[in-house]
Structure 1
Amino acid sequence: MRLTIGKKLFWGMSALIMLFVALSQLLNSQFLEDYYVLEKKKQLMDIYSSINKIYQGDADSISLELERLERTTGIHIVVCNSKQEPTYPVKKTIQEPNAGNPPIPQPQNLNQQNSNLPHPGPEKELSFERSLIQLNLDKISEGREAIVFSKDPRIQTNFINLVTTLNNGDYLILNTPFASISESVKIANRFFLFTGLLTLIAGSVITYFMSRKLTMPILKLNDIAQRMARLDFSRKYQVESTDEVGQLGESINSLSTQLHGAISELTEANKKLLEDIERERRIDQMRKEFISNVSHELKTPISLIQGYAEGLKENVNEDEENKNFYCAVIADEAKKMDKLAGELLDLSQIEAGTFKLEKSNFEISRLAAKVMDKYQPIFSEKKINCNLMAEQGLIVYADRFRTEQILVNYLNNAINHVDSQRLITISVQSTQDKARVAVYNSGQPIPEESLGKVWDSFYKVDKARTRSYGGTGLGLSIVRAIQEIDNNRYGVLNKWGGVEFWFELDVAE
């Protein structure tokens, strides 16, 4: 079983209290009786001094004072004259009551069996005191006090006796039974044993609660320290005192706050570092993909240009019609390369941060109508039904050239993916403080897994089809870059029977 600091404190204090009780009990049993005897000797000397001061040779004159001393101290007092005859106490005969005076009440001995028994004479009663005087006559004749232990053979009782002379030479004998001292010592030892047990119980209870009170703050601090080891800094110690424990609590709180701040900063720096590493990895991956895509996009037109140029050089076809066809292919591939170079230039400017929007107020519906008019020959050639649903008078605050570029990219994308229904719809409408421009074309929906990827550079849902109409895969990337710089939304939706690409512009104030 693990001994906690509270249990150690409880058992230690309980053992200390038990040791004190046992030691006190041992000292009492060994030395209390001797101490009692010593105190009795001092008491006998004090009573002797008091009597010697007031004694003038007549014991009867101070008998009341002597009786008071006997009753209050429990010391038996005997005064004898120089002939060793008792002058106190003196047995008095019972006087007959006078006719005119009522009888004086006499104290009765409750332990006396028969009041008619003859009373022993003074000679016989005081033989014990006389023997004490005789045995210590040499010492008391020199004016010294004799304190002796003796046994009264008449009543078979041990006494502590003081035998000495008074100021006029009379003898004074003070004695007290030793049995009362022994009994008092026994009672005191029993009482102290009882109080010792009570002290042990009360001390154990008090120690238990005190140990809990003292160890509770330490347990709380330990819990906080364990939480800190698990990087949990939410718990704080409630400082309620200014002692060492309170100061330790303040130190723990300060350490917790500093560690929390340091670890938070370290975590944030680590997170930022991971983001930077991930961004660098993505950039590196994008760079590799970009180089691969550019190489792929340039490879085909360069190969075509090189092949047809060599054919012209070698006069593979001498007729004029084939030569014109060769020249037309070379010019078309050169145009595609020029378009790719222009879009790459736009993307490089955007990524370099040199791309800026030149905003102004203009009516978006007129711009949409203008772009639609430019494409009328293409619509007629491909038999496409293009409709414009525009909210008239809607003024926006945007870059006119880049807005037209977005609209052209969306319209080219719609023309290239329109199905046999040949339906394209351009819509312009206001939504709160934004103008929403959308281009819808009938056709196959974009797969769900490709909806978020169509905005990536060089991404093509159908690469073979994209190559057939000369797409580079950069148009939607440019749309995304322009809208992100302008802090406006853009997107694509699969609708019933077709696909809709949209973007938003700020409405002019």
Structure 2
Amino acid sequence: MVERRPAGLRHSIKKQMAAVFSLLMMGTILLCWFINNFFLGEYYISKKQNAMFATYQILNMAATNGTLSTDSFDIEFQKNCGKYNINYILLDAESKTLKTSTPDYSTYSQRLLNNLFGENAEHQKLLETGEKYEIQIAEDDRTATEFLEMWGVLDNGNLFLFRSPLESIRESVKLANRFLGEVGIASAIISAVIVYLISRQITKPIEELTGISERMIHLDFDAKYTGKSRTEIAQLGQNINELSYTLEQTISELKSANNELQRDIERKNKIDEMRKEFLANVSHELKTPIALIQGYAEGLKEGISDDEESRNFYCEVIMDEAAKMNNMVKKLMTLNELEFGNEKVEMERFDIVALIRNYLQASELLCRQKEIEVIMEAKKPVYVWADEFMIEEVFGNYFSNALNHIAGKRVIDVKLNRHDNLVRVSVFNTGEQIPEDSLPHIWDKFYKVDKARTRAYGGSGVGLSIVKAVMEALNQKYGAVNYDNGVEFWFELESAGEKVDDEKGMETEESQNG
């Protein structure tokens, strides 16, 4: 069995793309910041050393060539020193100042002589030593700042000192790092947004295809891919469209064939089951009356009793059992017609109040004999849509059921009420409740809650099954409800349009039987 994936996406491609790019960019920026922070200063110092050495070579060559005092050399040398932020002083062998770029030449001169004689060595860090020069990091005692220094002797015997403040280098590194961080973060944010927007355009057709495939999983083939691009995704979308069409046609054909086969199987099974059930139930129900008829008929034949009264009793039993069998067979035939759909439903507009009152009038004598009080307050016509003959059968079964199970105050209450566009007819009788576990089964053929009592009044166990078949043929609801003092059976019919709320005896749906 194929494992179904979760309905919601856990990881979106566009989010992944934006996240990966952002992480890569942030990682690159952090790496650059780390390298700048820890290595840029050293790199600057290294480059500054190279610049000082190049400046030393220029100065030494000019001293050797004798161009040291020319204007052209001064201009080029000043440009070079200005370019690399190098201050210098040049002394002759007698410590006289020949050239300088700083007005504080005395300090530079003293610094050069101190270096020459090895003073303040504890405040110096030697970086490079040549045959005639040294490069070092030295701390100025007055300002407590560090300088990169190069000092030594030219080939012509002149002394020189180059100085460049390291503080400017370190400040440049800090500014570079700060600039890199701020620009990097801003660039990462802007780039992430741009990548996210671009990825949305890239993944939009993928999301569309995902939605189409989701709908195809639920056999919805109406969605089609509508992309117009010429990419691989568009080609995939067209293939999915063709697959969707093919699947829809194939499934439609399979469903049609399967439905037809299923109907044939169900029809055959239903007929077989109904035939078996019918034969079994009829055999069971007819066994008792046939045995009674046979027994009493044999008694009459053999002359068990000679008196007229006994013979009349035997004949009455035989006739009563024959009538019960005849009644049951009629009901079974009616039920069989309904269940097999052979009984045609004739929908007509009729007055349900008149139908019920006619039935009650015909049963008046029987009710008086059994000392039963029948209550029906509805008098004005109430028109409904249904098969009048079938509804009379339904009401008759409900009323006969009430007559046979009445007890207590011996009251049968017939009510009509309306809700929405339906009319509900209910028949309530005082007496014992139906056990709750039996309520779902009372509509089954030959089901009897109290078999001994049903046998006593000649019940067949088919009446409520006929009610079920009729109401299902009419596509209307029916049911039974237990109350503290009895049981109510009800059915609903479609109203023919008259307002029944203000009629005498009409009640709302929530009315209770007292």
Q: Which amino acid aligns with 1:402?
A: M
TM-score normalised by length of structure 1: 0.51
Match of 1:490 among 458, 462, 478: 478
Where 2:407 maps in the other structure, the secondary structure is coil
- Residues 304-383 of structure 1 aligned to structure 2 (within 5 Å): 304-358=292-346, 360-383=348-371
Provide closer, same or farther for how the CA distance between residues 245 and 390 of structure 1 changes in structure 2, counting only shifts above 3 A.
closer
**Which of these two proteins has the greater Rg computed from alpha carbons?**
1
Provide closer, same or farther for how the CA distance between residues 283 and 111 of structure 1 changes in structure 2, counting only shifts above 3 A.
farther
Percent of matched pairs sharing the same residue: 45
Indicate the residue corresponding to 1:394 in structure 2.
382
Provide closer, same or farther for how the CA distance between residues 358 and 282 of structure 1 changes in structure 2, counting only shifts above 3 A.
closer
Provide closer, same or farther for how the CA distance between residues 267 and 449 of structure 1 changes in structure 2, counting only shifts above 3 A.
farther
Contact 1:426 1:438 in 2 (8 A): yes
Where 1:460 maps in the other structure, the secondary structure is coil
Contact 1:365 1:393 in 2 (8 A): yes
Match of 1:505 among 486, 493, 505: 493
Match of 1:481 among 469, 480, 486: 469
Contact 1:362 1:400 in 2 (8 A): yes
Stretch of structure 1 that moved more, 280-289 or 331-340: 280-289
Q: CA deviation at 1:225?
A: 13
Indicate the residue corresponding to 1:6 in structure 2.
none
Distance in 1 (CA, whole Å) between partners of 2:283 and 2:227 is: 70
Q: CA deviation at 1:360?
A: 4.8
Where 2:377 maps in the other structure, the secondary structure is strand
Where 1:249 maps in the other structure, the secondary structure is helix
Q: CA deviation at 1:474?
A: 1.2
Q: CA deviation at 1:357?
A: 4.0
Provide closer, same or farther for how the CA distance between residues 365 and 226 of structure 1 changes in structure 2, counting only shifts above 3 A.
closer
Indicate the residue corresponding to 1:421 in structure 2.
409
Contact 1:343 1:474 in 2 (8 A): yes
Does structure 1 residue 446 correspond to structure 2 residue 459?
no
Report the RMSD for the aligned CA atoms in angstroms.
Answer: 3.8
- Residues 4-43 of structure 1 aligned to structure 2 (within 5 Å): none
Q: Which amino acid aligns with 1:407?
A: F
Provide closer, same or farther for how the CA distance between residues 248 and 368 of structure 1 changes in structure 2, counting only shifts above 3 A.
closer
Distance in 2 (CA, whole Å) between partners of 1:397 and 1:226 is: 47
Provide closer, same or farther for how the CA distance between residues 310 and 399 of structure 1 changes in structure 2, counting only shifts above 3 A.
same
Provide closer, same or farther for how the CA distance between residues 251 and 458 of structure 1 changes in structure 2, counting only shifts above 3 A.
same
Contact 1:391 1:428 in 2 (8 A): no
Q: CA deviation at 1:332?
A: 0.4
Q: CA deviation at 1:279?
A: 6.1
| 1:252-308 Cα shifts (integer Å, max 9, x gaps) | 332144225534654675577557645654553343222111111111111111111
Match of 1:472 among 457, 460, 477: 460
- Residues 191-210 of structure 1 aligned to structure 2 (within 5 Å): none
Distance in 2 (CA, whole Å) between partners of 1:336 and 1:491 is: 26
Provide closer, same or farther for how the CA distance between residues 464 and 261 of structure 1 changes in structure 2, counting only shifts above 3 A.
farther
Where 1:452 maps in the other structure, the secondary structure is helix
Contact 1:390 1:429 in 2 (8 A): no
Provide closer, same or farther for how the CA distance between residues 365 and 250 of structure 1 changes in structure 2, counting only shifts above 3 A.
closer
Provide closer, same or farther for how the CA distance between residues 346 and 263 of structure 1 changes in structure 2, counting only shifts above 3 A.
same
How many residues of Structure 1 are paired with residues of Structure 2 in the alignment?
Answer: 301
Contact 2:212 2:224 in 1 (8 A): no
Structure 2: gaps (5+ residues): 1-61, 68-194, 498-514
Where 2:426 maps in the other structure, the secondary structure is strand
| 1:71-117 Cα shifts (integer Å, max 9, x gaps) | xxxxxxxxxxxxxxxxxxxxxxxxxxxxxxxxxxxxxxx999489xx
Where 1:491 maps in the other structure, the secondary structure is strand
Contact 1:437 1:502 in 2 (8 A): yes
Where 1:502 maps in the other structure, the secondary structure is strand
Distance in 2 (CA, whole Å) between partners of 1:114 and 1:408 is: 142
Provide closer, same or farther for how the CA distance between residues 248 and 483 of structure 1 changes in structure 2, counting only shifts above 3 A.
closer
Distance in 1 (CA, whole Å) between partners of 2:494 and 2:218 is: 47
TM-score normalised by length of structure 2: 0.51
| 1:338-379 Cα shifts (integer Å, max 9, x gaps) | 111111221222234332344555433233222222223322
Distance in 1 (CA, whole Å) between partners of 2:264 and 2:480 is: 30
Distance in 2 (CA, whole Å) between partners of 1:225 and 1:396 is: 49
